[in-house]
Amino acid sequence: MFNARTGLILSGLAFAIWETVDIFWITFPAAAAVFAALFAVCTAWFWRNNSSRAALALLLLMAFEGAVAPTLKAMPVTKIADLALAIAGITCAIAVLVAARHERSSRQGLAELG
C-alpha cells in the first residue's frame, strides 16, 4: 500500500540517486555531492525513526530542489521531472507532518480524558 511515508522515502531516495548521478555531469560537483549526502542521510533518518524533524528537513531540501529546477542548465524534460518529483516529495512531507501533528494532538486529548 502506498502512503505518504512511503512516498516521502521514495522521493528522498530518488533525489539522493539523482544528485549522485549529477556529481559527474554538473559544473560544480561538490554541491551535488553535498545534496546527495543530505538527501540520503535525511531519508535514512526518517526511515528509521519516522521523525517529524527528518520529514521537515526533507521538505526543505525538496522545496529548494523545486525552486531551482527552472534554472537548471538541462533539457526541459529534466527540469519538468525535477519539479514534478519535488512537488510529489513536498506533498508527501506535508501529509506526513500533518498526520504526525494529528496523532500527537489525539494522544494529548486522550491523556486529558484519562
Whether the model clears a pTM of 0.85, i.e. scores above it, the answer is: yes
Q: Tens digits of per-residue pLDDT, 45-71?
A: 999 999 999 999 999 999 999 999 998
Q: Tens digits of per-residue pLDDT, 68-86?
A: 999 888 899 999 999 999 9
C-alpha distances in Å from residue 60, one per residue of 23, 24, 103, 108 = 21, 24, 22, 28
Write down the domain spans for the chain.
4-113
Give DSSP secondary structure letters for the chain.
---HHHHHHHHHHHHHHHHHHHTTTSS-HHHHHHHHHHHHHHHHHHHHH--HHHHHHHHHHHHHHHHHGGG-SS-HHHHHHHHHHHHHHHHHHHHHHHHHHHHHHHHHHHHHH-
